[in-house]
Structure 1
Amino acid sequence: MFLPLIVVHGGAGNIPDSRVQPKLDGVQRAVRCAYETYEKTKNILDATQAAVEYMETDENFNAGYGSVLTLEGEIELDALVVEGKDLKAGAVTGLRNVLHPIAVARLVMEKTPHVLLSGDGVQEFALKHNIPTESSLYTKDAWQALEHFKKNKAEPSKMEIGSGGTVGAIGIDVDGHMVSCTSTGGITGKMKGRVGDTPIPGSGGYADDNIGTVSTTGYGDAILRYNVAQRILHAIELGATAQEASEKVLQNMLDRIGKTAGAITIAKDHSIGIAFTSQRMAWAYKKENKIYYGIDKDKQFEEIF
């Protein structure tokens, strides 16, 4: 019998040294939140959502509080929830003034016949369901990153100041049921109304109990073009391990499009894939009585749970 398994990521990209330890601390805490929640509810979606919600409150990640700014200095949030039993999904894009967009995405999945809500519609939906609003999700780092972007006409993928990172959590329970949760503020200096990979099933994340579950991070427009999550699951379906599939698809995306990304993956056999072509990606998971975590390639840490 398998134990429940939850893997989280805190974003991939050009993460500066000053953000390394806060991100490592954050993904560890997110894993702890996930397992504490699972012990209470025995619900793998509750657990993965709890991990993402923790990171949405941590300014060292680019989701909820700490999200990056559009070119106009606004925050527009995206999130996606997918469950693998019935292939249900809920997503939001362009959401404003909400600390936990992942909670709204879950409500879209559970309370509507739709998959994706945007604009005024998603704001009205969140208000109708009494989702708490926040007067400000802005941080000093986000403003500095935008100013740097405007001054240097920097490509979003090359940003280092204020680098946050899309957050995600995936899980599989004792019965083999899988889920994927992903949340982001997007990229610094994005155009108003821009939609990246995160809220799109098959790109920002996906889950299928017959194959596996994935959450992606990195250069979102390229991930969207390459349909990364679905390609990883297809590779697993063809016989690759979770690790092999994640590495292969991300490398192929880099070769084909020239952009970097990262992904966390769990296959239906409970094997794990953690891969990134970006400079760094924060990640963590628990196995037996230890939390395994890292951010640099070929370097892993352990902590007693």
Structure 2
Amino acid sequence: MSAVLVVHGGAWAIPDELAKASVDGVKTAAREGFSVLKRGGSAVDAVEVAVRSLEDNTVFDAGTDGFAQCCEIYLMFQLCLTYFLPQTSHVMLTSQGANLFAESIGISTVPTETLVTEYERREWEKHKNYMTGVIEDFNTQWAHDTVGAVALDSAGNVACATSTGGIRNKMVGRVGDSPVIGCGGYADNLNGAVSCTGHGESILKVTLARLILSKIEQGKSVTEASQMSLQHMGDRVKGAGGAIVVSPSGHWAATFTTERMAWAAVEQDVLWYGLDPHERLKEQLPQ
């Protein structure tokens, strides 16, 4: 079975000054994640490597440069630790419990303030009022969003990973779609893996990731399932966003309803990538 890895750097109105850096970032992450699959590694390990690459790149809103909440420069980390299921019977841990569990299995931590760059501090000062139309912000130059990856490995297993810094100036305590299973991401070996991006509240309301996989289960192609689900989210709750999908047969899609989404995919040593609607460029990877 041919391995596949797809990544996204967030669906929003990416300005021209960030376009090249965004595309370069997703291409790098896709290469790094696919290198794990090429060595026979698991889909879970591949998406972790890819998302770590995106988190360490300050052009994306995840990890370093995560968005600041209202009232103070503060980042809240919520860990969705499905990767560690063999070590606990629970599916999802959050808040202090997640932090304690992460420490118990040796995950290193860093001071929260080190993840907020000077650029993000300045942007927080400019846009302190969250209640000025969050959905509209996804079509302005001020919005960033989530990063994610999906993969199919040579054993036929699929996996997804989704990470975000959230929405700038959100209320303290706000939970977005990324850590919620079936919304920001979902993986099922029978139907595929999905990572979503966009306005979190809208994604939560339609359980976007699970909606996409349910349409694949009904016989739709990965592209049709993504397009139909994103259209439903727009019609039903006026939300915009994007999704990357891979099926157990190796078919994949990168679809979005925002102005732009940086994405990249690798299959059989070919790197595909894009930024604008209908853009699908490719380059051959070195053997």
Structure-2 residue corresponding to 1:74: 74
Q: Is the 8 A contact 2:145 2:167 kept in 1?
A: no
Which residue of structure 1 aligns with residue 152 of structure 2?
172
Aligned amino acid, residue 222 of structure 1: S
- Residue 152 of structure 1 and its aligned partner are, at CA, apart by 8.5
Distance in 2, Cα, partners of 1:146 & 1:59: 15
TM-score (norm 1): 0.86
Specify the alignment match of 2:284 in structure 1. Answer: 304
Amino acid in structure 2 at the alignment position of 1:57: D
- Cα distance change of structure 1 residues 153 and 42 upon mapping to structure 2, 3 Å threshold: closer
Q: Distance in 2 between matches of 1:44 and 1:207?
A: 11
Structure 1 position 298, deviation (Å): 1.2
Q: What's the counterpart of residue 204 of structure 2?
A: 224
Structure 2: give runs of 5+ residues left out of the alignment.
Answer: none
Q: Which moved more, 1:149-158 or 1:21-30?
A: 149-158
Aligned length: 280
Question: Residue 287 of structure 1: which of 256, 267, 281 is its match?
Answer: 267
Tell me the TM-score normalised to structure 2 length.
0.91
Which is worse superposed, 48-57 or 68-77? Answer: 68-77
Deviating more after overlay: 48-57 vs 69-78: 69-78
Residue 301 of structure 1: how far off its partner (Å): 2.1
- Residue in 1 that maps onto 2:104: 128
How many angstroms does 1:210 deviate by? 1.0
The residue type paired with residue 201 of structure 1 is I
What is the Cα deviation at residue 56 of structure 1? 0.9
Alpha-carbon offset, residue 151 of structure 1: 6.1
| 1:47 Cα offset (Å) | 0.9
- CA gap 1:134/1:276 in 2 versus in 1, 3 angstroms: same
Amino acid at match of 2:104: K
Matches of 1:289 and 1:4 in 2, distance apart? 10
Change (3 A) 1:289 1:123: closer
Contact 2:6/2:244, CA 8 A, preserved across alignment: yes
CA–CA distance in structure 2, aligned partners of residues 162 and 253 of structure 1: 22
The RMSD of aligned alpha carbons is 1.8
CA contact (8 A) 1:44 1:179 kept: yes
Cα distance change on mapping 1:69 and 1:161 into 2, 3 Å: farther
Q: Which structure dedicates a bigger proportion of its chain to strand?
A: 1
Judge conservation of contact 1:9–1:264 (CA < 8 Å) in 2: yes
Identity value in percent: 35
Query: 5 Å matches for 1:1-40?
Result: 2-40=1-39
- 1:142 maps to 120
Residues 221 and 249 of structure 1: is their aligned pair in 2 closer, same or farther, counting only changes over 3 Å? same
Who is 1:266 aligned against? 246
Name the structure 1 match of 2:230.
Answer: 250
Q: Is residue 60 from structure 1 mapped to residue 59 from structure 2 by the alignment? A: yes
User: What is the CA-CA distance between 1:41 and the residue it aligns to?
Assistant: 5.1
Extract unaligned runs of 5+ from structure 1: 80-90, 92-104
Task: Kindly provide the amino acid, as one letter, of the partner of residue 137 in structure 1.
Answer: L
Residues 123-149 of structure 1: CA deviation (Å, up to 9, x unaligned): 222222232222310112221222222
Q: Secondary structure at the match of 1:117?
A: coil
For 1:173 and 1:107, locate their aligned partners in 2 and report how far apart those are by CA, in whole Å: 16
AA aligned to 1:75 is: L
> What per-residue deviation string (whole Å, max 9, x for no partner) do you get for residues 197-239 of structure 1?
1111111111111111111000011101110011111111111
Q: 1:156 to 1:145 in 2, by over 3 A?
A: farther
Aligned partner letter, 1:199 = P
Q: CA separation in 2, counterparts of 1:232 and 1:107?
A: 22
Q: In the superposition, relative to structure 1, how do residues 110 and 194 fare at CA in structure 2: closer, same or farther (>3 Å)?
A: farther
C-alpha change, 1:260 and 1:9, in structure 2 (3 Å) is same
Residue 31 of structure 1 contacts residue 284 of structure 1 at CA under 8 Å; is this kept in 2? yes
User: How many angstroms apart in 2 are the aligned matches of 1:156 and 1:143?
Assistant: 19
